[in-house]
Amino acid sequence: MCGISGGTRFNSYEALNSKTLFKMLDSIRYRGPDECGMYQAKEALLGSVRLSIIDIKSGQQPLSNQKGDIWIAYNGEVFNYVELREELINKGYTFKTHSDTEVIVLLYEEYGIDFLKKLNGQFAISIWDKRKKELILARDRMGIRPLFYTMHNNELLYASEIKAFLQHPDINLKLSAKSLSQIFTFWTTISPDTAFENVFQLPPGSYMIYSKNKFEIKSYWNLEFAAENQYNNISFEEAVEEFEHILKDSVKIRLRADVPVAAYLSGGLDSTVSTSLIREVVPNMLQTFSIGFEDADYDESYYQDLASGYFGTKHTGFKIKNEEIAELFPEVVWHSEMPLLRTSPVPMYALSRKVREKNIKVVITGEGADELLGGYNIFKEAKIRHFWAREPKSKLRPLLLKKLYPYIPQIQNASAQTLRFFFAYKLGETNSPVYSHLLRWNNGNHIKKYFSDDLVQNLNGYTPVNELIDKINGKFDNYDYLGKAQWLEMSIFMSGYLLSSQGDRMGMANSIEGRYPFLDHRLIEFCSKINPEYKLHGLNEKYLMKKMAEKRIPDEILKRSKQAYRAPIQNSFLTKQASVYMNEVFDEKKLKENGLFNPGLSKKLLDKFKSGEKTSEVDNMALTAIISTTILKDLFENKKGKIKTNDLGECRLINDI
């Protein structure tokens, strides 16, 4: 795993030089604290800071092919590099290292841009092709690894993280009003937008080719679901068998490393299943890590201990206090590089820090299973709302929603009329391609009421949901209700938020690489084509995997109700640790100067929390949004606080001018 940065300089030597590139790499050195390397040609520079995991001795980057006319700097892992290496050897290629990096550059030499279709992994790749004078950027299918770019004086700059651009003397960042509206709706932006104006992300499953006369971005892979009633024609038993076969192999190849590999163990079904498969592949002592909460409403320590005891792992579990969540929040915003509506990334940051303290660099984690197999309540809500919409006046059908939230007393005690008030938003619009998410996204409208008048005027009636529907442009009209919901969840929320703010960023902030067996593209393609009843059977989520997991994991975990991962908000931001920045964030003068939020309404929201008055989920999201956006503006736009460089020591420079 690494951090990469670089760019082109077809028109000017001043736009990017080795000194500037060094500073850009230095700003993300935590992504790769082991080594630093730069390649400098007349028209381009590539740079890498390396977290050495495979071929520690000879896998330094940037690296070239034998002829020295193709150079690569890349962030990630290609898990099937062993098989691809053999394929290339059979074609007559020789290798000077045992790294997956060299496999990639030789694959490109052999197959051109089609090499991407052969990779099974998580990656952000930069390649300089001297022969064609082209810079190639590419990103893995699901966007597990980040890759950003911006333009300056007709030159392209790219980096693993946006903060690297702050080291360029001529680049200033500004929050985008349009992006804020998207984030407060979807929790993330619509690719390729980021939180900042004129800074973009390369979309998942895409590549870019940039030269003096060419700038093109194309997809090499797309997430697609089977059309309704055109599912893979296999029985449920066959589906369970095939799912198990692919998942086992996915786990096996993700254990490839020249350093120890550990696992996160949350106490839920997904991480417990992946841990069980790791033990089947590697029966020796496995290290597992988990985090709990001092706040009992969020804590799953009991199930974490149950799982670790069942598998006999060497387990490290600890609990995070509300005060620690408050204290770490600004640091987490710095690494997330976008406004947050939840405090959930903070415990993940603390967990990866604990893993690093134990000298572990790689962890297996269970993200992706909920999206693949209908695990979230949003999928069940869509199913119930579709059923309810057939008889919208029914007093019984809305009561089904109680089955989804056994841990929320307000819902358990609610009448049908109360449930209608909360869940009937646009109930009859079942033909909408985004029907499953309309209810969740409507929360954003309640948060946006805190926007300042200037920001509202700047948005000029812009509606993110309408833009998304336009981009979808009927592409999945033939999907069933679950396929549509899964596409939205995987393409927007998972890629833009879950794998970023709770995944890559929180791990790499502490030099930890996360690996995701459930996000193997073979498993995604298989699950997207099977009968939806195999995934969401009635209201029984992840049905197929539960059948596979029988007698493999503790029954108490297998049969427990789904509990969403959450972290305290109100109880964290009302601690003394938060008061240091809370007083500044909600200072009336500060709010006016920033011009993002209405000072009066923002102060009224804070007073509501301080008074002990009952607050809603939307209130908590709004509070978090105001705090995180203000911190982000200070750090990236006003350049106050966190921006600094460190002493990288020596950085190997390959001069090819």
The helix/strand/coil state of 69 is coil
Distance CA 269, CA 253 (A): 21
The token pair at 378 is: 């949003």
In angstroms, the CA 404 to CA 415 distance is 15
Query: Which amino acid is residue 614, in one-letter code?
Result: K
Write 227-236 long-range contacts (CB < 8 A, 24+): 227/478, 227/479, 228/478, 228/479, 228/480, 228/483, 231/529, 231/530, 231/531, 231/532, 232/526, 232/529, 232/530, 232/531, 234/530, 236/531, 236/534, 236/544, 236/547
Output the six-digit token pair for 551. 């007698």
Give the SS3 label for residue 221. Answer: coil
Paired tokens of 608: 């509501």
Q: Find the catalytic residue in 2, 36, 527, 651.
A: 2
In whole angstroms, give the CA distance from residue 651 to residue 381.
53
Note if 2 is an active site residue.
yes
Question: Which residues are CB-neighbours of 329 under 8 A, at least 6 positions away?
Answer: 343, 346, 572, 573, 578, 627, 628, 631
Contact criterion met (CB below 8 Å) for 46 and 72? yes
Rounded to 5°, angle at Cα 371 from 369 and 376: 100
| Cα–Cα distance list, 343 to 203, 365, 573 (Å) | 26, 20, 10
Residues classed as catalytic: 2
